[in-house]
């Protein structure tokens, strides 16, 4: 039985969202000059515009793409895109976790799209991406946070496509390379890879996506909070930071703080390197630990942000699924009590196991410190 480790992670927060704030974050570092003012006044507007400019720079967004800030985090961003832009042509939905399933459910039950093809895979597997039809719109998640599986690349997306690609990139943007030429509508929130406050999302629009917004109106009613049509205008004030409704200026200040940190870390390549170094620590631990395995057996599709783990079947053959869930509960309760790890339970609808955030705001040393605690908690919970 391993001894209780003596070194704890300096920060035990390993949640997949909201995620840990950047190293060194302090509330007192946030600017407050925009608070209590109209978001249409020049200073607050300039801050919102700065958030767009800085995000575009870090994400290396092409010059002819545009970014807008929308309400309701990534869900608001993705649903606004679906409600405002779908319906012109057939739609292919690829889903392999709870979030992809959410977009699928909307397409089926709410928008009731008449020409819908569904490509679904159970947790731990990817659907057949090669089935995507370039004549149709394609909906998919770059990194399925609940499953811990990402798309390995975008070669399956045609350069000559007529449809648009809609990509939920919330746990990928700022931690993975995004091939923008393959992505027409990309969404993410402020609360994932950069550890910002929730409530706002961003939508990145290709020129063809903006053309859809200017030329096409869906048959269904679109509530104003989901209406992106203003972004169909090439001169839209949304690209400068005007928002559909009143934004949180405190969340904006916090996101600016995260973006400044990201720039100091070396921009996108620095953020990706931090995330991969984190995954490498867990990989070394999994390789030397007989009781644990990655859910994503294939390295190319293994997430480097939302890392999902399952118990080796050979080590837990005495337990049914409920038994494994109880084991996870005992382990995570012990780890929380000891201040070693918070929020490493899997997504509620996912199979039992552990889920550990390895995004850029996590310090590699903290993951290294966490591994012996996992060994200890497993042994104690089994003992
Ligand atoms: C892939 C994915 N899509 C959508 C969401 C929903 O994001 P939000 O709660 O920021 O709207 C999440 C949240 O974890 C997610 O991981």
pLDDT digits (tens, 9 = 90+) for 236-289: 999 999 999 999 999 999 999 999 999 999 999 999 999 999 999 999 999 999
pLDDT score for 307 = 98
Ligand 1 atom with the smallest distance to the CA of 143 is: 1
Average pLDDT over residues 47-70: 98
DSSP class of 299: G
Residue located via tokens 């096409």: 216
What value does the mean pLDDT take over residues 344-366? 96
Instruction: For 334-348, give the secondary structure using H, E and C.
Output: HHHHCCCCECCCCCC
Q: Closest ligand 1 atom, CA of 17?
A: 14
Q: Which atom of ligand 1 is nearest to the CA of 146?
A: 16
pLDDT tens string 318-332: 999 999 999 999 999
Q: Is 321 exposed, middle or buried (0-12, 13-18, 19+ CB in 10 A)?
A: exposed
Model confidence pLDDT, tens digit, residues 180-192? 999 999 999 999 9
CA of 75 to the centre of ligand 1 (A): 6
Candidates 78, 148, 167, 189: which one to mutate for ligand 1, based on the most atoms within 8 Å of Cβ? Answer: 189
Nearest ligand 1 atom to alpha carbon 191? 10
User: Atom 13, ligand 1: which residue's CA is nearest?
Assistant: 17
CA 201–ligand 1 middle distance (angstroms) = 10
Distance 350 CA to ligand 1 centre (A): 14
> Considering only CA atoms, which residue is closest to atom 2 of ligand 1?
99
Q: How far away, in angstroms, is 98 Cα from ligand 1 center? A: 9
Please check the confidence at residue 127 and state whether its pLDDT lies above 90.
yes
Q: E-strand spans in the chain?
A: 66-71, 91-95, 116-120, 137-141, 143-144, 149-150, 165-168, 185-189, 200-205, 292-294, 306-311, 354-357
CA triple 289-273-192, angle to 5 deg? 85
How close is the Cα of 30 to the center of ligand 1, in Å? 25
Q: What is the pLDDT of residue 349?
A: 84
Tell me: the pLDDT tens digits for 298-313? 999 999 999 999 999 9
Interaxial angle between packed helices 267-288 and 249-264, expressed in degrees from 0 to 180 and rounded to the nearest 10: 80
Q: What's the gap in Å between 113 CA and the centre of ligand 1?
A: 23
Tell me what pLDDT residue 178 has. Answer: 98
10 Å Cβ neighbour count for 272? 18
In angstroms, what is the span from residue 174 Cα to ligand 1's centroid? 15
* Probe residue for ligand 1, chosen from 18, 167, 171 as the CB with the greatest number of ligand atoms within 8 Å: 171
One DSSP character per residue, 125-172 reads ----GGG--TTSEEEEESEETTTTEE-S-STTS-TT-SS-EEEE-TTT
- 49: confidence class by pLDDT, cuts 50, 70, 90: very high
Tokens of 231: 């972004």
CA distances, 107 to each of 113, 139, 270 (Å): 6, 10, 37
Q: Which residues line ligand 1 at a C-beta cut-off of 6 Å?
A: 17, 73-75, 99, 141, 145, 168, 170-171, 189, 191, 198
pLDDT tens-digit map of 132-164: 999 999 999 999 999 999 999 999 999 999 999
336: CB partners within 8 A, 6+ apart? 12, 342
Output the residue whose Cα is nearest ligand 1's atom 7.
Answer: 74
- Residue with the bigger pLDDT between 218 and 2: it is 218
Residue minimizing CA distance to atom 3 of ligand 1: 99
Determine the average pLDDT of the residues in 172-176: 99
Q: What mean pLDDT, rounded, does the chain reach? A: 97
141: CA distance to ligand 1 center in Å? Answer: 10
Nearest residue to 54 (alpha-carbon basis) of 250, 247, 244, 194: 194
- Ligand 1 atom nearest the C-alpha of 72 is 11
Pocket test for ligand 1, best of 17, 69, 95 (most atoms within 8 A of CB): 17
Report angle CA 61, 63, 69 to the nearest 5 degrees.
60
Residue nearest to atom 16 of ligand 1 (CA): 145
pLDDT for the residue numbered 1: 81
Atom of ligand 1 nearest to the CA of 77: 11
Side by side, which strands form the sheet with 165-168?
66-71, 200-205, 185-189, 165-168, 137-141, 91-95, 116-120
What is the whole-number distance in angstroms between the Cα of residue 195 and the centre of ligand 1? 13
Torsion from C-alpha of 313, 318, 324, 326, nearest 10 degrees = -160
HSE-CB at 189 with a 13 A cutoff on CA atoms is: 23
Cβ(151)–Cβ(186) below 8 Å: no
CA distances from 344 to 4, 55, 129, 334, 347 (A): 19, 28, 29, 12, 9
149-150 and 143-144 as β-strands: parallel, antiparallel, unpaired?
Answer: antiparallel
């Amino acid at each position: 039985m391993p001894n209780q480790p003596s070194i704890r992670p300096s920060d035990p927060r390993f949640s997949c969202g909201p995620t840990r704030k950047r190293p060194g974050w302090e509330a007192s570092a946030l600017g407050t000059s925009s608070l209590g003012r109209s978001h249409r006044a020049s200073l607050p507007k300039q801050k919102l515009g700065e958030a767009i400019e800085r995000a575009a720079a870090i994400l290396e967004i092409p010059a002819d793409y545009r970014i807008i800030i929308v309400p309701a985090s990534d869900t608001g961003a993705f649903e606004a895109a679906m409600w405002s832009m779908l319906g012109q042509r057939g739609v292919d939905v690829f889903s392999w976790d709870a979030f992809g399933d959410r977009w699928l459910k909307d397409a089926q039950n709410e928008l009731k799209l008449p020409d819908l093809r569904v490509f679904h895979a159970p947790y731990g597997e990817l659907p057949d991406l090669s089935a995507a039809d370039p004549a149709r719109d394609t909906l998919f998640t770059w990194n399925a946070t609940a499953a811990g599986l990402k798309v390995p690349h975008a070669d399956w997306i045609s350069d000559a496509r007529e449809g648009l690609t809609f990509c939920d990139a919330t746990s990928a943007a700022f931690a993975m390379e995004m091939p923008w030429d393959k992505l027409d509508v990309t969404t993410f929130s402020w609360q994932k890879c950069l550890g910002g406050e929730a409530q706002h999302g961003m939508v990145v629009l290709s020129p063809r996506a903006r053309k859809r917004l200017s030329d096409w109106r869906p048959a269904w009613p679109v509530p104003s909070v989901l209406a992106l049509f203003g972004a169909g205008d090439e001169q839209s004030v949304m690209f400068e930071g005007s928002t559909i409704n009143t934004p949180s200026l405190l969340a904006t200040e916090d996101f600016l703080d995260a973006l400044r940190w990201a720039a100091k870390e070396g921009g996108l390549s620095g953020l990706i390197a931090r995330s991969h170094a984190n995954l490498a620590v867990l990989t070394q631990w999994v390789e030397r630990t007989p009781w644990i395995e990655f859910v994503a057996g294939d390295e190319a599709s293994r997430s480097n942000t939302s890392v999902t783990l399952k118990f080796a079947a050979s080590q837990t053959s005495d337990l049914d699924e409920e038994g494994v869930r109880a084991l996870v509960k005992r382990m995570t309760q012990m780890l929380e009590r000891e201040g070693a790890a918070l929020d490493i339970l899997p997504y509620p609808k996912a199979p039992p196991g552990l889920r550990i955030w390895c995004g850029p705001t996590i310090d590699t040393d903290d993951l290294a410190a966490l591994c012996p605690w996992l060994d200890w908690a497993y042994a104690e919970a089994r003992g």
